[in-house]
Amino acid sequence: MSDRESLRDDTAWRHAVVRQYEHQLVGYTTRLLGDVDRARDVVQDAFLRLCREPRQKIEDGVRQWLFTVCRNRAMDVLKKENRMKTLTEERAAECASREPCQTVVAERRETARRAADILDELPDPQREVIQLKIQNSMSYREIASVTGLSVSNVGYLLHMGFKTMRQRLSVND
C-alpha cells in the first residue's frame, strides 16, 4: 500500500470513528458537564487528539480511549470552573437524541422519569458508572479504564447504585 493510500485509509477510519461515537460522547460529556455546548467543545478536542495519535496505537481500544479523553478533559473543565452543574430536566430535554421520538406507554415514561430522578440523587461515582454501563454499554473493564477505578470497585459501585435504585423504585410503586 502506498503512503497516499495508507493516508486515505487512516482518514476514512477517523471519519468512521467520528460518525460512530460522536453522539455517544456528546451525551456522556454533557452529563458530566451539564452543558451541551461545553460538551461539544470537549468532544471536538478529543477528536482533534484522535487525529494526532497514530492509528495503530489506539485502534483496538478507540472507544475506550475516546471516552477516557473526554472524561479527563471534562474533569479539567470542571476543575477550572470550580463548580459542578446538575443536569436539570430542561437541560436533559435539550440533549435529547437526534432519533425520532417513539410513542411509549405512559407507565414506562413515568418509571423512566422516576428512575432518572433517583439516578440524579445517587453519589457521583455511582451515577457515573451506571451511566457508562447503561447508556454507553461499557464493560466493567472499560468503565474501570475510563474512570481510573479498579474493576472490583466498578462492580461494587454498580451493585450499590442499582440496589439503591431498585429499593427506591419499589417504595414508590
Q: Which tens digit of pLDDT belongs to each residue from 27-40?
A: 999 999 889 999 99
Question: What single-letter amino acid sits at 44?
Answer: Q
58 and 120 part of one domain? no
**What's the rounded Cα separation, in Å, for the pair 52 and 41?**
17
Q: Grid coordinates representing 121?
A: 440523587
Instruction: Check residue 101 and give its pLDDT.
Output: 46
Phi, psi of 76 (to 5 degrees): -60, -45
Q: Please state the domain count of the chain.
A: 2
66 and 111 part of one domain? no
* Number of Cβ atoms within 10 Å of the Cβ of 173: 6
Secondary structure element (H or E) that encloses residue 24, with its range: helix 3-33
Asked if 49 and 25 touch (Cβ cutoff 8 Å), the reply is no
Residues of the chain with pLDDT under 50: 83-85, 98-104
- Boundaries of domain holding 78: 1-86
Instruction: Check residue 173 and give its pLDDT.
Output: 57
- Alpha helix segments (H runs only) across 34-123: 36-52, 55-58, 62-81, 89-94, 106-121
112 and 82 part of one domain? no
133 and 71 part of one domain? no
16 and 46 part of one domain? yes
**What's the rounded Cα separation, in Å, for the pair 161 and 41?**
30
Give per-residue pLDDT as tens, 105-116. Answer: 567 778 778 888
